[in-house]
Structure 1
């Protein structure tokens, strides 16, 4: 079910290489289909949304009924239990508290001689949030996407979710209610992403699109990037557990199984210094998988994308971790903080035996929207920083221009940008003053200048 591999730094095993090179979204046939859908929505708007919703979702809908009425969200509260609502509210509270610490502060530098330099921070105005309706429902993902945006000050969050969610998933609807998400449209797939990117007669154009989805949604987000910003191209979920011989094989097995139940493409890896532990984890997986309802998905995931990799030392294990750059990393060692100091590439890092990934998935505080497919080498978890813009503000005085103008003109001349240098020179000479005549078109009189 899951392969045990003895790692050799000189000759990387094929399975290890597959893990390292995962995350390639190369599906040319689907990409062509997605581009056609996006282009059609861009060109024909609501008309195409109606047609595609009936074709892909089997739902006949008109533009006037795209948006979910508030009464539908209110009615959903009658269909969820009090314990779920309490857990959801505490989750929102914890995530809000954590992300409030990320709020950026503007600054201003007074340089003297009438020079002021500033940075202003302002929120993105309109964000589109995609909420999928596929193999499982994830109210937690709605919270993890929406809360950082709300903390950042985003004034308008436009939600897209397939018709199935509005009809069958009261937990999703209640999550919208608890987050104050009132602008929710029953549209899914690549066509929903296109509507957010370009706008239609009914759906507003947004500035940024966030949220997970299937391959059609991911490729649509990649296609519209540049027209709008996006959060990331999310791949299948993944976990790496780094363990020494002090770790509990029952815990490790449970965590690998938990990650594998997402879907057949999920990656679950244990890197350990102990072959004994590796074999115990293998046995525990065989025992615990029988307790799960999604056994078939888990088994396929572990067979194709799982591994127990035995390394010689923790240092070698950490090198492999940094090479994989996992979405989730659990450090189950005697001294996890010592290992932490050497970890360079990971989306979220969980320290010790009692910090499994589900703690971060649901309740701890940091957003669980994390870089996948090795992109933790250069990218970060979703945060308040993703929903703000920074503007630089520069104020110079006449006196400072006259003092520093020669330097600016010299740099401009090296680049061959005569107009740049001239923009400084006219100010050094006082502009349209009596001693600097201008011609009829407002330009410098060359003979006088």
Structure 2
């Protein structure tokens, strides 16, 4: 009997040791995973800071992140041709950072939407209606032009479509994450209400609960049924959650809605708000696109003709159709000039309007953001209605008509379209900027605007 009890005791002890060993191994893997994510993500930030300083020292106005994206992509392609094992090792090393960015991608494009009420408040109602018509109609027309051009060129050069490389989808949000961010929101909201300058300034004190409202809004939106998300994208939910909370807090604290939105996005590194924290990721997001492009390098090479041609055609169409329709509907010339680069990413859109005297930069920013919002919300449904099935046509059409916001929205549900969104998004901005820097082109656009 004693021997039997001894055997049972030893078996229990062995199982206990195994369980403890497994728990230790799981903890070690978790710690290693977190460190791996921090280091890989930190390297993206380091590369971004280095390129910004380099471009600033050389007085180059072109966005450094786009240059960095193409450099990383080119380096990976060269390594793949010479030392493939090194290229694969780099892909594996940066995978945690890439998956983190891909999981939260739409969230990083939200700040400009949250502060949109501040950008459009001074636009007359009549002009606003005309601009709205141009934005929606122009977005749909540009999407169709880009998508159908890609299909037409493929048919002309007789390129057969091949399957895209499967792209891993980010993990869903857990209940622990939801409760953790809910706790941050409630605690920081109470602190801010009773002491608006608890952390030194209003912006820093409002930062935790406004950031938490964005995150929780995105989590909530991501959990909606697919049929709902096609017409009510998580980006909308994410934006509304921050705006509604800012409205409520501004009313209850007597600070006011507009000042609270001002605390959300200060554009001051010494006094950042929640929007500034999210914006800090944007250039790293663009750098990360190089890895998704590299994963689909064979498809990009195979379909280079339709990618480049459709981007060029859609960019030219977007600029000239905006100028023409603006004149036809009687929009003021200064406003028409301000909305010319409506389909181009914000950093380059602001560079483009600097070529035109009298253009209003705040209006340009608002129009670019609203165009992206329209694309983010309706691109998927519209592409389905137009029967654009393959990821190339869908990616090019979305990014050429709705730049970064459209890219973030589409790729959240269709990761295989991200590489084509990324390259179209970049080329669209580059080609549009190059085109508007040519004096005869500028003069022809001014002549059309009137």
Bin the TM-score by the shorter chain. Answer: under 0.3
- The structure with the largest strand share of the pair is 1
User: Highest CA radius of gyration, 1 or 2?
Assistant: 1
- The structure with the largest helix share of the pair is 2
TM-score (norm 1): 0.23
